């Protein structure tokens, strides 16, 4: 089975070098495509000097994560599987081989790798995506010990930082939705794969050390705006609130208190504006059914997780390395 690794990057020269070095050290052969979103930090020179065998797609501007991946896939040729790796992740030598193994099952269309926290490698950053009953996404096993992988189940889909997809299916489904600049594109694609009848397998042994939030900055205003847009867009695209008053109340209870915090305490109107703009755009997209039968996180659990993240943040007890993860769950 032929695989290609696609790595989008933007102004992360030193991190990218470590990621590519780890891919070159894989036990399974793999082609490499780097999509450079107009980096100005020496990335082109690094690629030419140290990684001449990598295919490089050079964009004239920063077009975001999903669009960059789509352009990388277009340059991937006729590979069987595309593997996505973040530019701030260092893969263990067996990562690629273990990501490919589940595709022996013809029903598997997606494989979720495991990202470990760079500051605490004994803790999980993401083992894929799980959903709550408001179509909210959570990183499966986030902040849980690596030992829990022994009893882990398959997630709804992979996190885009350590993901593998059957390449023909990826192309047939249109790849990532380019309305999403960054964040939530992996959730949307996982839902479309599931809708098409594919399932996701967890490759618990495919592990990579992840330095979370290195591109946009931990808990940055840009990340908050993008997360708010992504959440609003996916809710609208999948008509997740529908005509169900209770679900609308649950969505409001999870999302809007945090948007108000951004507005009142941070003096940031951007997240609320992006949430409303995303709804307008999402409702213009062809409507899709919200697959809430895939939800494994109840509303009460989601509410407790949200409250815990807020308490840690306000207490100053949420490590900087994890700030973006909190933002992913509090748009």
Residue 25 included in any domain: yes
What pLDDT score does 157 carry?
98
Residue 156 included in any domain: yes
Residue 182 included in any domain: yes
Q: Left, alpha or beta for 48 (phi > 0: left; psi -120 to 50: alpha)?
A: alpha
Structural Rg of the chain based on CA atoms: 19
pLDDT interval class at 118 (50, 70, 90): very high
**Would you say residue 308 has pLDDT above 90?**
no
pLDDT interval class at 317 (50, 70, 90): low
pLDDT interval class at 170 (50, 70, 90): very high
Alpha-carbon distance of 73 to 95, in angstroms, equals 20
Percentage of the chain with pLDDT > 90?
83
- Note whether 197 and 226 are same-domain residues: no
How many other C-beta atoms are found inside a 10 Å radius of the C-beta of residue 187? Answer: 24
- Note whether 236 and 162 are same-domain residues: no
Residue 43 included in any domain: yes
**Would you say residue 40 has pLDDT above 50?**
yes
* pLDDT tens, residue by residue, 130-161: 999 999 999 999 999 999 999 999 999 999 99
pLDDT interval class at 310 (50, 70, 90): confident
Q: Among the three residues 188, 210, 232, which one is the final residue of a domain in this structure?
A: 210
Average per-residue pLDDT for the chain: 92
* pLDDT tens, residue by residue, 20-36: 999 999 999 999 999 99
- Note whether 142 and 275 are same-domain residues: no
Query: Which domain CATH number covers 151?
Result: 3.90.550.10
- Note whether 8 and 117 are same-domain residues: yes
User: For the chain, first and last CA: distance in Å?
Assistant: 39
Q: With the CA atoms of 190, 329, 274 and 173 taken in that order, what torsion angle do they form, in degrees rounded to the nearest 10? A: 0
- Note whether 46 and 165 are same-domain residues: yes
* pLDDT tens, residue by residue, 88-114: 999 999 999 999 999 999 999 999 999
What pLDDT score does 243 carry?
79
Alpha-carbon distance of 213 to 223, in angstroms, equals 9
- Note whether 63 and 14 are same-domain residues: yes
Domain count along the chain: 2
* pLDDT tens, residue by residue, 193-218: 999 999 999 999 999 999 865 454 44
**Would you say residue 327 has pLDDT above 50?**
no
Residue 215 included in any domain: no
What pLDDT score does 219 carry?
61
- 2: three-class secondary structure by DSSP: coil
pLDDT interval class at 309 (50, 70, 90): confident
- Note whether 229 and 206 are same-domain residues: no
- Note whether 128 and 25 are same-domain residues: yes
pTM: 0.92
Q: Among the three residues 190, 210, 230, which one is the final residue of a domain in this structure?
A: 210
- Note whether 80 and 196 are same-domain residues: yes
Q: Which domain holds residue 177?
A: 3-210
- Note whether 322 and 197 are same-domain residues: no
Residue 216 included in any domain: no
Q: Among the three residues 210, 234, 264, which one is the final residue of a domain in this structure?
A: 210
Query: In sequence order, which residues have a C-beta less than 8 Å from that of residue 166 and are 6 or more positions away?
Result: 80, 81, 103, 108, 109, 110, 198
Tokens describing residue 166? 């059957």
What pLDDT score does 212 carry?
62
What pLDDT score does 319 carry?
46
Q: Which 8-state DSSP code applies to residue 320?
A: G
């Amino acid at each position: 089975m032929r695989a290609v690794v696609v790595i989008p990057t933007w102004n992360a020269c030193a991190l990218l070098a470590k990621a590519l070095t780890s891919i070159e050290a894989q036990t399974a052969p793999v082609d490499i495509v780097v999509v450079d979103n107009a980096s100005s930090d020496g990335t082109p020179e690094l690629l030419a000097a140290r990684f001449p065998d990598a295919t490089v797609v050079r964009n004239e501007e920063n077009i975001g994560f999903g669009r960059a991946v789509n352009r990388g896939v277009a340059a991937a040729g006729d590979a069987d599987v595309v593997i996505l790796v973040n530019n701030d992740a260092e893969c263990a030598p067996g990562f690629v081989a273990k990501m490919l193994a589940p595709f022996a099952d013809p029903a598997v269309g997606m494989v979720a790798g495991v990202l470990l926290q760079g500051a605490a490698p004994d803790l999980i950053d993401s083992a894929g995506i799980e959903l709550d009953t408001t179509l909210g996404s959570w990183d499966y096993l986030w902040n849980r010990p690596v030992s829990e992988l022994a009893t882990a189940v398959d997630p709804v889909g992979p996190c885009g930082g350590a993901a593998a997809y059957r390449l023909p299916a990826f192309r047939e489904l249109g790849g990532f939705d380019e309305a999403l600049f960054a964040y939530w594109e992996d959730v949307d694609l996982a839902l479309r794969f599931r809708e098409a009848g594919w399932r996701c397998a967890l490759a618990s042994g495919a592990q990579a050390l992840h330095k979370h939030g290195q591109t946009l900055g931990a808990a940055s205003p840009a990340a908050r705006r993008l997360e708010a847009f992504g959440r609003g867009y996916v809710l609208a695209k999948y008509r997740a609130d529908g005509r169900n008053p209770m679900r609308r109340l649950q969505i409001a209870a999870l999302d809007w208190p945090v948007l108000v915090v951004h507005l009142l305490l941070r003096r940031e109107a951007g997240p609320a504006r992006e949430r409303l703009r995303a709804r307008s755009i999402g409702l213009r997209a062809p409507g899709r059914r919200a697959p809430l039968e895939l939800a494994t996180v109840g509303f009460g659990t989601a509410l407790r997780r949200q409250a815990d993240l807020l308490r840690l943040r306000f207490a100053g007890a949420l490590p900087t390395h994890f700030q973006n993860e909190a933002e992913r769950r509090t748009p």
